[in-house]
């Protein structure tokens, strides 16, 4: 019911934004009905960019020419590898968050809610520094750092609730096999670093 209401609210918001002439963040992927927009997908591509460049320079002896992202190395391009790694990582992350939602660990794992939670966490950290309280980790988290922190905590909580890490991995593997991942090709094909 909550997902249906979220989808209806998202559709209404998209309609309003389109009517006002504002750009709409079209979904690049859908994971079991949860949309991943361009902003989130591009951010994940940016996180993986240096790794992909390093891989092709190391394994394929490539340079970094103007056509680097579209040049075919043994039948694949760095751009294809970059998109594919972002797709796989986001699908896995969303499956973990969907499991956490279904078990009541978190109420809403949507991108905007995670951005709000990240800002709230940084505000909490800022106040802790001012109050000279003990703070574990950096005083300010990047969004990427916050997501790693969030997922690590979710994985630990899920493992505890499911009776151990092996039960958690088994459940996650089952979800991976059943997952419905839809790639919206017109938008996916436009994603570039």
Instruction: Report CA-CA distances (Å) from 89 to 23, 35, 49, 80, 83.
Output: 26, 14, 13, 14, 10
Residues for the chain: how many in total?
193
Number of domains in the chain: 1
Please tell me the chain's helix, strand, coil percentages from 3-state DSSP, rounded to the nearest 5: 65, 5, 30
- Give the mean pLDDT of 126-149: 95
Q: Are 45 and 83 in contact (CB under 8 A)?
A: yes
Per-residue pLDDT, 21: 40
**Residue 79 lies inside a defined structural domain of this protein:** yes
Residue 5: pLDDT band (50, 70, 90) is: very low
Per the model's pLDDT, the better-predicted residue between 169 and 23 turns out to be 169
For residue range 105-117, what is the model confidence (pLDDT) as tens digits? Answer: 999 989 999 999 9
**Residue 97 lies inside a defined structural domain of this protein:** yes
- Find the domain containing 132 and state its range: 26-188
pTM, entire model = 0.82
Per the model's pLDDT, the better-predicted residue between 20 and 155 turns out to be 155
Per-residue pLDDT, 22: 39
| Short-list 191, 183, 14, CA closest to 88 | 183
In the predicted structure, residue 13 carries a pLDDT above the cut 50: no
Backbone angles phi, psi at 132, to 5 degrees: 60, 40
Residue 25: pLDDT band (50, 70, 90) is: confident
For residue range 52-110, what is the model confidence (pLDDT) as tens digits? Answer: 999 999 998 888 888 999 999 999 999 999 999 999 999 999 999 999 999 999 999 89
**Residue 3 lies inside a defined structural domain of this protein:** no
Quick count: other Cβ atoms within 10 Å of Cβ 112?
A: 13
Listed range (39-43, 59-63, 155-159) with the worst mean pLDDT = 59-63
**Residue 6 lies inside a defined structural domain of this protein:** no
**Residue 102 lies inside a defined structural domain of this protein:** yes
What's the CATH code of the domain at 170? Answer: 1.10.4030
């Amino acid at each position: 019911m909550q997902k249906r209401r979220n989808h209806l609210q998202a559709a209404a918001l998209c309609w309003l934004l389109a009517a006002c002439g504002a750009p709409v963040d079209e979904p690049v992927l859908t994971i079991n009905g949860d949309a991943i927009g361009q902003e989130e997908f591009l951010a994940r591509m940016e996180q993986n960019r240096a790794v992909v460049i390093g891989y092709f320079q190391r394994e394929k002896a490539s340079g970094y020419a103007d056509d680097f992202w579209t040049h075919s190395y043994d039948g694949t391009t760095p751009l294809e590898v970059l998109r594919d790694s972002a797709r796989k990582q986001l699908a896995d992350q969303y499956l973990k968050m969907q499991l956490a939602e279904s078990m009541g660990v978190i109420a809403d794992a949507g991108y905007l809610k995670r951005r709000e939670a990240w800002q709230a966490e940084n505000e909490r950290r800022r106040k802790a520094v001012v109050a000279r309280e003990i703070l574990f980790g950096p005083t300010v988290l990047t969004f990427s750092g916050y997501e790693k922190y969030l997922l690590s905590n979710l994985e630990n909580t899920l493992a505890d609730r499911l009776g151990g890490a092996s039960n958690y991995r088994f459940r996650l593997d089952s979800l991976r096999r059943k997952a419905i991942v839809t790639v919206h090709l017109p938008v996916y094909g436009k994603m570039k670093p």
